[in-house]
Amino acid sequence: MKSIIRKHTFRLSAFLFLFSSVLQAQVEKRELFQLKTYTFENEAQEQLTHDYLQKAFIPALKKLQIERVGVFKTRPNEKDTLNQLIVLIPFKDFAQYESLDQKLTQDADYLMRGKDYLKASYDKAPYIRISSTLLRAFKDMPILEPSPLDGPRTERVYELRSYQSPTEELYCNKVKMFNEGGEVTLFDELGFNAVFYGEVLSGSQMPNLMYMTTFANQESRDAHWKLFVDSSTWKTLSAMPEYQNNISHIDIQFLYPTEYSDY
């Protein structure tokens, strides 16, 4: 009897180990990515940061096999006049993310090319502040995808949305609505050219998710959103009782890619 129990216990342990290994492998396939937002007080700060990113930081990342780095300018409006730059950096796992700063300090070319930024004095800082958000890709879009748009960069509209939820449970419900519910599929069917959908792991506003879609211009953006809102699929999905009240606040930023952005 004891041998039978031990045998079944071993089989159960082996099954659980295999299941956890498969689950971990699935999680690891979902990229991590960081959104770094630089806020500037003047054009001199912005130019210094542009030079650093283009000539030092991004080349150093690519030497470390960190590709598809996006750099975006915000489009100021009447409500938001801050001059900002947003950098999107993908990572294959936490180890790559955690080791980045140390590896950069060992890159002599990076230190030389970025010295004006890295060695800036306290009274001539290259920005007002940097904020950082760490995300994990949705399971239905596990890898960041550069936009296929090829028109003038200054005309393109990259829409960055942040959806905050009232509670952690309702946040998970909204993530489910995107994946199992079919929002990601609908955006894809309507040609929103998504760059990413991400669960915020660490940031100043939580719980929330973020995603970025891309359009040739503002007119195209508005037309695509009208198609989405008028879609019978969206009307059905948004009316389902299980997906009610899962968003408490939405932030929207309109961006366009710099000339040296990979997106």
- The verdict on residue 195 lying in a domain is yes
Q: What confidence score (pLDDT) does residue 75 get?
A: 85
Q: What confidence score (pLDDT) does residue 25 get?
A: 40
- The verdict on residue 196 lying in a domain is yes
SS (H, E, C) 6-70: HHHHHHHHHHHHHHHHHHHHHHHCCCEEEEEEEEECCHHHHHHHHHHHHHHHHHHHHHCCCCCCE
User: What is d(CA 210, CA 23) in angstroms, rounded to the nearest whole number?
Assistant: 24
Instruction: Kindly report which listed range (173-177, 185-189, 259-263) carries the lowest average pLDDT score.
Output: 259-263
Greatest CA separation for the chain:
79
Shared domain for 4 and 66, answered yes or no, is no
Shared domain for 170 and 183, answered yes or no, is yes
Q: What residues contact residue 45 under an 8 Å CB cut-off, 6+ apart? A: 125, 126, 127, 128
Q: What is the arithmetic mean of pLDDT over 88-113?
A: 97
Domain region containing 20 = 1-29
Q: Confidence band (pLDDT; 50, 70, 90) for 78?
A: low
- The verdict on residue 249 lying in a domain is yes
- The verdict on residue 176 lying in a domain is yes
What is the number of structural domains in the chain? 2
Q: What confidence score (pLDDT) does residue 204 get?
A: 87
Omega of the bond leading into 146 within 30 degrees of 0 (cis): no
Model pTM?
Answer: 0.85
Q: What confidence score (pLDDT) does residue 15 get?
A: 42
Handedness of CA 14, 20, 22, 28 (dihedral sign): negative
Residue 126 has pLDDT above 50, yes or no: yes
Shared domain for 125 and 207, answered yes or no, is yes
Residue 27 has pLDDT above 90, yes or no: no
- The verdict on residue 203 lying in a domain is yes
Look over the chain and give the mean of its residue pLDDT values, rounded to a whole number.
90
User: CA nearest 189: which of 237, 155, 154, 250?
Assistant: 237
- The verdict on residue 140 lying in a domain is yes
Q: Confidence band (pLDDT; 50, 70, 90) for 80?
A: low
Shared domain for 103 and 223, answered yes or no, is yes
- The verdict on residue 42 lying in a domain is yes
CATH for 207: 3.30.70.100
Shared domain for 18 and 48, answered yes or no, is no
Shared domain for 45 and 87, answered yes or no, is yes
User: What is d(CA 38, CA 49) in angstroms, rounded to the nearest whole number?
Assistant: 9
- The verdict on residue 108 lying in a domain is yes
Q: Confidence band (pLDDT; 50, 70, 90) for 149?
A: very high
Paired with 38 in beta bridges are: 85, 130
